[in-house]
Amino acid sequence: MTPVRSDTGPDLADLRRRAAATLRRNWRGKATVPTAALYPHQWSWDSAFIAIGQAHLHPRRAFAELTALLDAQWGDGRVPQIVFNPAVPEDAYFPGPAFWRPLPRRGGPPPGVSTTGLVQPPVHAAAVLTIAERHPGEATDAAVRRLYPELARFHDYLFDRRRVASGLVGIVHPWESGLDNSPAWDGPLDAVDPGPAHGITGLRRDLRHADAGHRPTDADYARYMAVVAAYRDRGYADDDLPSLPFCVVDPLFCAVLAWSEQALAALARRVGADPGRHVERARELTHQVHTRLFDPALGCYVALDVRTGRAVAKRTVAGLAPLLLPGGHRPVLLDTLAGPSFAAPGVRGVPSYDLTAADADLRRYWRGPTWVNTTWLLWRALLAHGETEHAERLAADVVCLVADAGFREYFHPVTGEGLGSDHFSWTAALLLDVLAREPEDQRWQR
């Protein structure tokens, strides 16, 4: 679709209409799919981002989105990465519901609900607080009272069951990071025996809907499946995490958890609960992120391979996520964000990987392309720290990328080419949020 432009840049009213139409297109009555063909179920952190955008259109639908997700919460507190729609055929997505079974009867999902056994970055409490602050009222207060205990249980699960080195929180699969094939996972995954990889292509449904050059490879998928199978076969138990084939501390996951724990403290105050434990947990995790994960040579934070105890020396967008937190190494991070690794001339948004790295692939998923959700997180961080000029540049990048290429899953950071799937929900949702927060006279031109 050709974007409509005014004399001063993209037609913002047209972009809003198209964003709203994308969210309507992907709404399924209780929740929103990321995009109809490629991702036909409900994804966890997608729903949090989608709710932020839905709140600008239908605040009730925003809370319904999160309620549908939390209705699938496991008895042990985890909020699953995917909630499978029973009306969608088993083979519409790989790996489908059958691959994840058996799910635990005790501590697992509610009866009759099919999910994965993984989690995703816990942006949900921050999303609820964002919506509540922008749309006050009795209905919002009631929704916060209903959602707060479930969000607190999710965080309890992460802090209690996923604790690893020095109080940091670990992930047990690359998919839990949200940055599935990030170069940060290459080293830890190299130690995983993938087993026979033949036949993977025939099982994958993503390659029917997106260019294979934009997606993880079959070799990636073989290892992903081996890691899932090992976790599934032990009943998704979280004891002795280093014995799993993949266990990593991810700076984005930990930063988002600390940020959302701060949001939980604010939500606790709203419902009359004691915020003290949330404040203390956020403070302690923030301290551990700043002291344990920062790499001064790279100018950013890095992942930690729990199995080996070694840091993963890769400069990725995840290593910038601690900008969401107070304190730390903010001046160095700001220099890195504005430097050649992420902001060379002509680059739009924040690339997912170091542009100067020899193994950067600017069209392949999380190995270089710009994504709207991670750019949005850094935009929020810059605004919170008063870095208004830089924040406005990122906002303009998001608007112009979407105006030029449509509501794509991700984008080439230099050419602006739209990549992955089209009609992508969080791209639409977070564009609405950017447009609502930035001044109307912004020219949106580089």
- Strands 300-301 vs 303-305: parallel, antiparallel or unpaired: unpaired
| Cβ 227 vs Cβ 146: under 8 Å | no
Written as six digits, the tokens of 421 are 């799937």
Active site residue 409: yes
Kindly name the residue from 176, 206, 409, 422 that is annotated as catalytic.
Answer: 409
Residue 204's CB is within 10 A of a number of other CB atoms, namely 17
Kindly name the residue from 46, 65, 176, 180 that is annotated as catalytic.
Answer: 180
**What's the gap between Cα 424 and its chain centre?**
14
Task: State the SS3 of the chain.
Answer: CCCCEECCEECHHHHHHHHHHHHHHHECCCCECCECCCECCEEHHHHHHHHHHHCCCCHHHHHHHHHHHHCCCCCCCCCCCEECCCCCCHHHCCCCHHHHCCCCCCCCCCCCCCECCCCCCCCHHHHHHHHHHHCCCHHHHHHHHHHHHHHHHHHHHHHHHCECHHHCECECCHHHHCCCCCHHHHHHHHCCCCCCCCCHHHHCCHHHCCCHHHCCCHHHHHHHHHHHHHHHHCCCCCCCHHHCCCCEECHHHHHHHHHHHHHHHHHHHHHCCCCHHHHHHHHHHHHHHHHHCEECCCCEECEEECCCCEEECCCEHHHHHHHHCCCCCHHHHHHHHCCCCCCCCCCCCCECECCCCCCCCCCCCCCCCECHHHHHHHHHHHHHCCCHHHHHHHHHHHHHHHHHHCCCCEECCCCCCEECCCCCHHHHHHHHHHHHHCCCCCCCCC
User: Would you please indicate which residues are annotated as catalytic (active-site) residues?
Assistant: 180, 409
